[in-house]
């Protein structure tokens, strides 16, 4: 996979993450909704960074889909938190897969993206299962 293909895959994952956060926000209480809004802003910022990298590489950034399938319907706060964990895990996987294909500034952006997703996933896991481990050994795997 080329660097451009890897960046396009990450861009598609970021588009899907933004969509997912839109689907879960209405099921959360104010404090958790603020966390979701912060996470969504992070995904929007990373989406924009990736689009800029693609433009710099003379590639057209992939547009978002009209809608994305969710792994399960969200009908409660518990389901919303579980979806947030999945969003971060899936986006982390896209970033992790991109890292070996990238160099220089592109790789730095990918490592920062992977790290941000790992941190957000840990926050959501802590809310989903208080007292259980909230981190994983290798985020994105």
For 114, residues 6+ apart whose C-beta sits below 8 A from its C-beta are 92, 95, 96, 99, 139, 140
pLDDT, residue 85, reads 95
Q: For tokens 């809310």, name the residue.
A: 127
The C-alpha atoms of residue 98 and residue 85 are separated, in whole angstroms, by: 20
Backbone angles phi, psi at 100, to 5 degrees: -65, -20
The C-alpha atoms of residue 139 and residue 141 are separated, in whole angstroms, by: 6
Domain 3-128 adopts which CATH fold?
Ferritin (1.20.1260)
pLDDT, residue 1, reads 80
Chain-centre distance of CA 42, in angstroms? 8
Print pLDDT tens along the chain (141 aa): 899 999 999 999 999 999 999 999 889 999 899 999 999 999 999 999 999 999 999 999 999 999 999 877 899 999 999 999 999 999 999 999 999 999 999 999 999 999 999 999 999 999 988 888 788 777 777
For 115, residues 6+ apart whose C-beta sits below 8 A from its C-beta are 139
| Domain boundaries defined on the chain | 3-128
């Amino acid at each position: 996979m080329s660097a451009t293909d890897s960046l396009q895959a990450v861009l598609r994952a970021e588009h899907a993450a933004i969509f997912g956060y839109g689907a879960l926000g209405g099921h959360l209480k104010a404090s958790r909704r603020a966390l979701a809004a912060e996470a969504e802003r992070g995904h929007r910022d990373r989406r924009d960074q990736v689009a800029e990298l693609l433009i710099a590489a003379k590639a057209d950034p992939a547009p978002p889909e009209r809608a994305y399938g969710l792994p399960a319907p969200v009908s409660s706060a518990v389901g919303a938190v579980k979806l947030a964990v999945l969003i971060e895990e899936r986006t982390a996987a896209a970033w992790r897969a991109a890292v070996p294909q990238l160099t220089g500034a592109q790789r730095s952006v990918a490592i920062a993206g992977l790290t941000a997703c790992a941190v957000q996933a840990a926050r959501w896991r802590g809310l989903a299962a208080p007292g259980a481990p909230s981190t994983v050994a290798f985020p994105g795997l």
